[in-house]
């Protein structure tokens, strides 16, 4: 019988669930903005609202991750998500538009890419079991 892994090596169930939420929301955003020009996204009330909702879900989930999980996935831009979270709370205007577009064009895609890399290289981070 092998000894169990130390508790610090096991990702908490909540973090695994949060990673799943982040991945799902990132995929949703990627689908919603695929082929959509900046101005069209910013003018589209329905798409923009849904993209904003998904981004807030991602930012909130990222903010709740345990430090150990963050450290195990250093390529993810945790500070970027933290900054974005604050910027998405801005009132309508140029600053919010810029944050929304930056997230769609850069942060979401990079996050999705790294999550998929980690799913293959560190699958225990995504397991919802103890």
Q: Give the model's confidence band at 11: pLDDT under 50 very low, under 70 low, under 90 confident, else very high.
A: low
Q: What does the pLDDT look like over 14-71, one tens digit per residue?
A: 999 999 999 999 999 999 999 999 999 999 999 999 999 999 999 999 999 999 999 9
The CA angle 62-27-57, to the nearest 5 degrees, is 35
Q: Give the model's confidence band at 8: pLDDT under 50 very low, under 70 low, under 90 confident, else very high.
A: very low
More confident residue, 100 or 12: 100
Q: Give the model's confidence band at 6: pLDDT under 50 very low, under 70 low, under 90 confident, else very high.
A: very low
CA 52 – CA 95 distance, rounded (Å):
14
The pTM of the full predicted model, rounded to 2 decimals, is: 0.86
Q: Which of 57, 45, 54, 43 is nearest to 104 (CA)?
A: 54
């Amino acid at each position: 019988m092998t000894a169990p892994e130390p508790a610090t090596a096991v990702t908490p169930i909540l973090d695994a669930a949060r990673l799943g939420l982040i991945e799902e929301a990132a995929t949703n955003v990627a689908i919603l903005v695929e082929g959509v020009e900046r101005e069209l996204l910013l003018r589209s009330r329905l798409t923009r609202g849904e993209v904003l909702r998904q981004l807030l879900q991602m930012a909130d989930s990222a903010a709740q991750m345990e430090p150990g999980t963050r450290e195990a996935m250093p390529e993810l831009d945790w500070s970027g998500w933290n900054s974005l979270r604050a910027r998405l709370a801005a009132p309508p205007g140029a600053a919010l538009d810029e944050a929304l577009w930056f997230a769609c064009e850069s942060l979401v895609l990079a996050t999705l890419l790294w999550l998929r890399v980690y799913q293959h290289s560190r699958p225990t981070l995504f397991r919802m079991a103890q």
